[in-house]
Chain A
Amino acid sequence: MSATGVVGVFGYLDDAVHALTELKGRGYTQLTVYSPVPRHELDAVLAKKESPVRLFTLVGGLTGVSFGFFYAIATSLDWPLVTGGKPIVSLPPYIVIGFETTILLGALVTVAGMFLNARLPKLGRSPGYDPRFSCDKIGIVAFGGPSQLEGAREVLRDAGAEEVRDV
């Protein structure tokens, strides 16, 4: 089976940034970068759009606050027992319930948003991944047709990749 991509293994961040800049400059769009830690230098080259996870947080939080108040109010009306001489629907104490459900649903939906967008859990294999990428090496995988892969190999080697191989 012919290769669909090529991976370069880098020991230095500046080399990896150089290779990535070069690949982007040559029009490679299908790129995956593996790095042991997130680095803003790599993010700057990849220039990705803002993560939509924040929208999940907003939706989760708004759902939470609505649910908390609705639940407290609806159940008070369903069982209208006067306690402590207070009105059946007493909003100040319900702020606590609304606050807690805001945080709870906000947090859980944020996590769900991360899972969806990062495509986790990942059951299959990740092309080009190497266990060294969770330790001290940075991996850049470029995908494309045979002619593009030849160019990518050259860029990765020239940038100082310690190892270049097909995936």
Chain B
Amino acid sequence: MATLAAPVTDLSEPTYAEVNRDIVATLAPPTRTWLLGMGLVVLGVAFGGFCWAYQIKDGLGITGYTPPIFWGSYITTFVFWVGIAHSGTLISAILLLFRAAWRTAIYRAAEAMTVFAVMTAGLFPILHLGRAWFFYWVMPYPNFRGLWSNFKSPLVWDVFAISTYLTVSATFLFMGLIPDVAAVRDMAAGWRKKVYGVVSLGWKNSDREWQHFGRMYLFLAALATPLVLSVHSVVSWDFAMAIVPGWHATIFAPYFVAGAIFSGCGMVITILVPLRKALHLERYIQVRHFESLAKLCLVTSTIVAYAYGTEFFIAWYSGDAIERATFYNRAFGPYWWATWTMFTCNVFIPLLLWFKRIRTDLRALFVISIFINIGMWFERFVIIVTSLSHEYEPWQWAYYLPRWPELGILVGSFCWFSMWFLLFVRFFPVVAIAEVKEALPPPMRGGHR
């Protein structure tokens, strides 16, 4: 198998053979940087696991929960990771249906990010349960007590939405990988050839395979498109179906979907900037791809900004004293710092993306994407915590801050996500070999190449 070459200086259009060579080269034996990164994230996961073990031992009292605020950093982080998961399917499915050719170089990384983000998100409702081992009670299964799930509850919708999303996005990722794994198999030797042969399911690039694969991929994209829009809508209804001031709003579904795509595109930039450099993928993941992602961030940032404005406007325009007080409290109450962090990161800083010079400067984009990640975590914190902290009864008003075990689990979740991603780039092509080649002009005797 090929090895990682020196940094890429040739940015010309590659040939089919060069695509195979360059992308399979990313699967070379691990570098010191990879090993160091893996070591750090495994430590982080272990620390997160320790925090959870401490919580299981001593109970939820070790968190910062203060009545009536029982949804805190875990639910915030759950919504954050579900949101991160959105851009993957947007890039792989929606942009496929729209025939946006620029997606080919980046969609694999975004899809993998989606699957690992949903895997991370799925941990949080379980972490949030006092008795995590009873999480299966939300599943509708026949049992001797004759009990069934309450299908009228948004929390049960969430179980269906998230598990469907995880299954379909993982299927989409694996299906797309089959032809590429076959290409890796054909360039590998020894036991690696055997393993990749099994994973590729004996794929041989025959006309029969391509014909049915193409149809399957198109229909999966068509099914995944409404799914991606529905999942965060369902997550938003966890809040919007309740009568808590600041939650009970019809704007929540589109507001959450736009926010999810915004945060997801931000995370794709955060991941791709270092990945491109570490794996020498400059020839494939180009500045124009980042510019397109930056434009998506800009568009969704303006939608999110509009939603923030609408929330405040409607709170005032409704004349509802409780709603007005909640939003006044959100901006100028004890959580002003969280709200203004959210505004700064999600509304003001992304305005820099109006400038082409910023959109094409990868260092600037990387920094902005980090602010977007921070801002979108705070957005969920603001929605959840500030609303619960300032409900109808003044004697119930409270103040919550996450305590160190919750922050440890938050850090652990980033490490858990990174661990899966690092393993993925180590064993699978992070750029779609077949689709990149499909976007290139084919070799022709009578014409180009």
Contacts and interface: CB of A to CB of B under 8 A. Distances in A.
A166 interface: no
Given A53-B215, A108-B167, A76 B208 contact: no
Interface string B424-447: 000000000010011000111111
A37 B434 contact: yes
Contacts of A4: none
A86 B153 CA distance: 11
A38 B202 contact: no
A118 B209 CA distance: 5
A21 to B, nearest CB: 14
Contacts, number: 189
Nearest to B162: A100
Contacts of A83: 150, 152-153
Interface stretch (A22-30, A129-137, A147-155): A129-137
B20 A119 contact: no
A13 interface: yes
A111 interface: yes
Given A75-B151, A93-B151, A96-B160, A123 B202 contact: yes
A111 B186 contact: no
B161 A51 contact: no
A43 B211 CA distance: 8
A160 B157 CA distance: 59
B183 A111 contact: no
A84 B153 CA distance: 9
B434 A36 contact: yes
Interface residues of B, number: 63
Contact of A86 (B152, B434, B445): B152
B226 interface: yes
A120 interface: yes
B182 interface: yes
B146 A104 contact: no
B96 to A, nearest CB: 14
A84 B168 CA distance: 32
B396 interface: no
A154 to B, nearest CB: 19
A80 B306 CA distance: 43
A14 B449 CA distance: 11
Given A37-B437, A51-B215, A53-B219, A79 B167 contact: no
Contacts of A39: 442
Contact of A134 (B150, B205, B230, B443): B205
Contacts of B150: 81, 83
B354 interface: no
Interface in A91-142: 93-94, 96-97, 99-101, 103-104, 106-108, 110-111, 113-114, 117-124, 126, 129, 131-136
- A-B pairs, 10 with minimum CB distance: A122-B202, A131-B186, A114-B216, A136-B16, A75-B148, A121-B201, A38-B210, A12-B445, A51-B215, A53-B215
15 contacts: A14-B445, A36-B183, A38-B438, A51-B214, A75-B140, A79-B148, A86-B152, A97-B160, A101-B164, A103-B230, A107-B220, A111-B216, A121-B202, A134-B179, A134-B182
Interface of A: 11-15, 32-39, 42-43, 46, 48, 51, 53-54, 57, 61, 71-72, 75-76, 78-79, 81, 83-84, 86, 90, 93-94, 96-97, 99-101, 103-104, 106-108, 110-111, 113-114, 117-124, 126, 129, 131-136, 160
